[in-house]
Structure 1
Amino acid sequence: MAQSLDDIVRVNVTVSPTAQSAGTFNIGLIVGTSSVISATDRVKIYSSVADMKSGGWTGTEPEYAAATLYFSQNPTPSKVVIGRWDETGSETAVEAVDACRAANNDWYACYVVDAVKAEITAVAAAVEAMKPESVYFYTTTDADVASGTAGNIMETLKSASYKRTFGIYSKTAHAGAAAMGEAMGLNTGGANSSFTLAYKTLVGVAPEALSTTQVNYILGVNGNVFTTYGPSYQLLVQGTMADGTHFDEVLNLDMLTAEIQIGATNALVQAGKIPQTEDGLSLFISAIEDQCEKSVTRGALAPGVWNANPVLTLQKGDVLTKGYLVLAESIASQSQADREARKAPLIYVPVKLAGAIEHAVIGVIVNR
């Protein structure tokens, strides 16, 4: 009988814990009251409208119509989540969206079909505080918006300073789902994939025939509209949330925040131990820097001058050569209580957004 080689050389295999990802930021949720999906199932994921047809949708439902616009955009989103709003249980729109979040964490943006003003306002408030962070798209045909009447939905949401709600004035049903599909399709996460929603085309949406005064009013209350510019341009303007923040800024910071959080957690989980020393802190900082590099690769962060208040050694006027900097207070400055609680010193991540050019003034100088 041969003797075991373990007596000479013992090999132990250790598999490190699987690193987690920061989740998806390119899937939309469409919520409606159709009974194709049961309240018990709550949500189902589809890769196309053909996939929906195979799943029992007839094509006459408002969720199907919204999904058709969602999937019609270029590039096409890879998936949609359809959620059930259970009106039979006297459920509100907010309760439906919350239930869809509890049932599925894959989606980032949401749209509620045929929502009225009160429901839009309530969902906007709920999404503002939602975890994981999400955004809400809605459509309004409210004549008070086009006429600039006080108290209209866009003015109301602007007054509430909601930065997670994107509204579009359109007579095309579910134009908001089209804008959501455009955003989810464009967010591939690849190199130089950062984008804005300004000046995009919404396939399947009719441009609104509005006066300049009407368009300027809608933009002034931080709404959005798909309309005609010049002889032939049909453009979505301006790509802003209800508080005036550009959609891409909200998206990019949500992705950066989630990646830093998951990257730091992965570092703690995968390491046998991160020593509470300057060298150990450097390892932790390196894990955060790796996540910041993803935003640089996408084009969301870029080198620039720091024009905000000083942060530790970073002074106003300094150049962030990589578009970000990860700084930490020293281990030596920690209180004994924090050290015994095994806390890291405070860590700061100043970043410089790449921004975007969306307006220009060009001077033509003629010499005869």
Structure 2
Amino acid sequence: MANIDRIVNVQISLNTNNVSSEGFNTILVVGAHTNGIERVKTYTNITDLTTDGFSTTDAIYKAVSVAFSQIPRPSKVKVGQIKESEEIADAMNAIVAADNDFYGIVLASRETDDILAMAAWAETQTKLFGTSTAEETAKSAGQQTDLISTLKAKNYYRTFVFYHELANDEYIEAGVMAKCFDSEPGGETWANKILTGLTADNLTESEYSAISSKNGNTFEAFKNNNITQNGKVVGGEWIDVIRFRDWLQEDITVNVFNLLINNNKIPYTDAGIALVENQINKSLLAGQRMGGIAPTEYDENDAENPGYIITVPLASSISANIKATRILEGITFTARLAGAIHAVEIEGSFTYENLTA
């Protein structure tokens, strides 16, 4: 029988190759343990940890338990293993080599040297590290040798710290990560979060002010609710801004990369530059939808205040030498952060006089 391809030859190309985006809602609890040989293991419930040999008194178990206790609960938590006598940086490099699909890091150890080593490592990665301290000196504005002050002095933007009296037994950072990671990047704030299964601290206003001045965070009782306060990394930026920035950078990278690999060629012309611009615009629009970038708004004179602006060069303005390198330069964007309201100040008055609009 003759081959039908002689008459009709159909070739279907799949332009669907994708780069995996990092898990910006996944927590890794890391610590020393001997329960298995896997560098990283994913858990979907707390019972499986006891099945694997973890005791309910183990620090790793406590941290994972706090994460799974939040409402809504995460679908999974990963556990990373630090081997005996292994340095933090070496262990984390081995962990990301085995499984890099996580964003939040909770360290089981409360040793200062371990925390400082993890913070230093996290600063070189697209990760977010959270920890807690029970140091009394953290509550004093005049003390600058406590853990929070030490980390603040290093100006780290990928580490946040809670003061917590029961830090050696409770892992507030795991709880707040689980709570906030339920929201898309840009759609959350890390202040005013109600956490489950954790003990609120009874702080004076001066103690809170001292912790806050060091860019530390607290978990306190207000009326009938126990909630987080502040929501900053030790470098002074809001935690949600760091997470959103990381997501946006990754999303733009993935979108532009997929454009380049799923087309035979992107020409170095105005049309080709527009294709790149469209991918950036796609990410920024998603950032608006998620709540990280402000929408287009208008002032009192009806003048438009856009949420973002993208600037791209004309092909004719790019030199032949630059075009010969096949590297597109000169694309910039500016986006307005949506921000968040953490507190409200209201002034009112009473009068017996008639009121007019």
* Superposed pair shares fold, TM > 0.5: yes
Structure 2 equivalent of residue 312 of structure 1: none
Distance of 2:92 and 2:327 partners within structure 1: 36
Instruction: Kindly provide the amino acid, as one letter, of the partner of residue 325 in structure 1.
Output: I
Structure 1 equivalent of residue 311 of structure 2: 327
SS in 1 for 2:334: coil
Structure 2 equivalent of residue 167 of structure 1: 161
Distance of 1:115 and 1:91 partners within structure 2: 16
Distance of 1:97 and 1:46 partners within structure 2: 19
Structure 2 equivalent of residue 275 of structure 1: 267
C-alpha RMSD over aligned residues? 1.9
Structure 1 equivalent of residue 177 of structure 2: 180
Instruction: Kindly provide the amino acid, as one letter, of the partner of residue 112 in structure 2.
Output: K
Distance of 1:246 and 1:328 partners within structure 2: 30
| Unmatched segments (≥5 aa) in structure 2 | 353-357
Structure 1 equivalent of residue 349 of structure 2: 365
Distance of 2:176 and 2:197 partners within structure 1: 11
Q: 1:115 aligns with which of 98, 110, 114?
A: 110
Distance of 1:188 and 1:76 partners within structure 2: 15
In 2, are the aligned partners of 1:320 and 1:352 still within 8 Å (CA)? Answer: no
Q: 1:344 aligns with which of 306, 328, 338?
A: 328
Distance of 2:329 and 2:92 partners within structure 1: 38
Structure 2 equivalent of residue 197 of structure 1: 190
Instruction: Kindly provide the amino acid, as one letter, of the partner of residue 225 in structure 1.
Output: T
Alignment deviations for residues 281-314 of structure 1 (CA, whole Å, 9 cap, x no partner)? 11111122112221111111123589xxxxxxxx
SS in 2 for 1:266: helix
Instruction: Kindly provide the amino acid, as one letter, of the partner of residue 337 in structure 1.
Output: N
Alignment deviations for residues 314-355 of structure 1 (CA, whole Å, 9 cap, x no partner)? xxxx8453x222221221122222211111132112111111
Distance of 1:227 and 1:121 partners within structure 2: 26
SS in 2 for 1:286: helix
Alignment deviations for residues 25-79 of structure 1 (CA, whole Å, 9 cap, x no partner)? 00111111121132xx211111121232343434332101110001111221121
Aligned residues: 344
Structure 2 equivalent of residue 314 of structure 1: none
| Unmatched segments (≥5 aa) in structure 1 | 307-317
Structure 1 equivalent of residue 355 of structure 2: none
Distance of 1:366 and 1:357 partners within structure 2: 27
In 2, are the aligned partners of 1:331 and 1:345 still within 8 Å (CA)? Answer: no
Structure 2 equivalent of residue 284 of structure 1: 276
SS in 2 for 1:325: strand
Structure 2 equivalent of residue 247 of structure 1: 239
In 1, are the aligned partners of 2:69 and 2:196 still within 8 Å (CA)? Answer: yes
Distance of 2:51 and 2:286 partners within structure 1: 37
Structure 2 equivalent of residue 207 of structure 1: 200
Q: 1:71 aligns with which of 57, 60, 68?
A: 68
In 1, are the aligned partners of 2:107 and 2:131 still within 8 Å (CA)? Answer: yes
Structure 1 segments of 4 or more deviating over 6 A?
A: none
Distance of 2:112 and 2:56 partners within structure 1: 26
Structure 2 equivalent of residue 228 of structure 1: 221
SS in 1 for 2:308: coil
TM-score (norm 2): 0.91
